[in-house]
């Protein structure tokens, strides 16, 4: 690996839309049928590779209850990306997306990318928010958009990999001074094992066929 970055993402949205289940499915490949509401903040991490660069995705799962809103706002300030989640079977969770979006825009850095996610596609028969509605709202507000299912894992990996690629493409050409100012993205040193892998790859690339 030539470099290693840390990207900070934050999951936001109403309580019960499946934010914690999305995080659990992505980081542990598990789904819990019964999952308690998040109290305050939960945390998860995953490593991926983009263009010979290690990306550590750090995901902060926030509580959706109004009681914890002031606490979760503190985590907006250093987010490279905000993942705004609603439940396709609950109209109110989609209506409240506007409130959450305003919160993100008010408390996050200007460069924070936002993606809108409609969760629970496994409950298609109970759908009340159409794909077209979600896409239209996203387009109107310049958001990225996708639907997923934390239960079946449909599009779960894609959400984070695609989002990481968006951030990577925005920041990979930045110099050190510019990168320091870009909140939610950090260049971190490779550990010895990662450095060894990098050296081995470099040797292999320099060998004649």
Residues 63, 8: Cα–Cα separation, whole Å: 17
Chain segment 6-35, per-residue pLDDT in tens: 999 999 999 889 999 999 999 999 887 655
CA dihedral 87, 128, 162, 12 (to 10 degrees): -30
Domain annotation for the chain: domains and CATH numbers: 3-199 (3.40.50.300)
What mean pLDDT is reported for the chain?
A: 85
Place of tokens 């690339």: 205
Chain segment 40-86, per-residue pLDDT in tens: 567 789 999 999 899 999 999 876 444 445 566 677 888 999 999 99
- Residues 4 and 54 sit within 8 Å (Cβ to Cβ): yes
Place of tokens 């550990």: 191
């Amino acid at each position: 690996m030539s470099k290693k970055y840390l990207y900070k993402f934050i999951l936001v949205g109403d309580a019960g839309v499946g934010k914690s289940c999305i995080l659990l499915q992505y980081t542990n490949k598990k789904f819990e049928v019964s999952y308690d509401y998040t109290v305050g903040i939960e945390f998860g991490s995953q490593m991926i590779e983009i263009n010979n660069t290690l990306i550590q995705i750090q995901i902060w799962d926030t509580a959706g209850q109004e009681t914890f809103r002031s606490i979760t706002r503190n985590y907006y300030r250093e987010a490279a990306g905000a993942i705004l989640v609603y439940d396709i079977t609950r109209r109110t969770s989609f209506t409240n997306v506007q409130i959450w979006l305003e919160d993100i825009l008010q408390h996050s850095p200007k460069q924070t990318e936002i993606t809108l996610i409609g969760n629970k596609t496994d409950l298609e028969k109970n759908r009340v928010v159409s794909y077209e509605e979600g896409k239209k709202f996203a387009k109107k507000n310049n958001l990225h958009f996708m639907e997923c299912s934390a239960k079946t894992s449909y599009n779960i990996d894609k959400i984070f990999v695609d989002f990481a690629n968006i951030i990577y493409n925005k920041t990979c050409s930045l110099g050190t001074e510019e990168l320091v100012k870009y909140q939610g993205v950090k260049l971190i040193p490779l550990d010895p094992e990662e450095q060894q892998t990098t050296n081995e790859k470099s040797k292999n690339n320099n060998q004649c066929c």
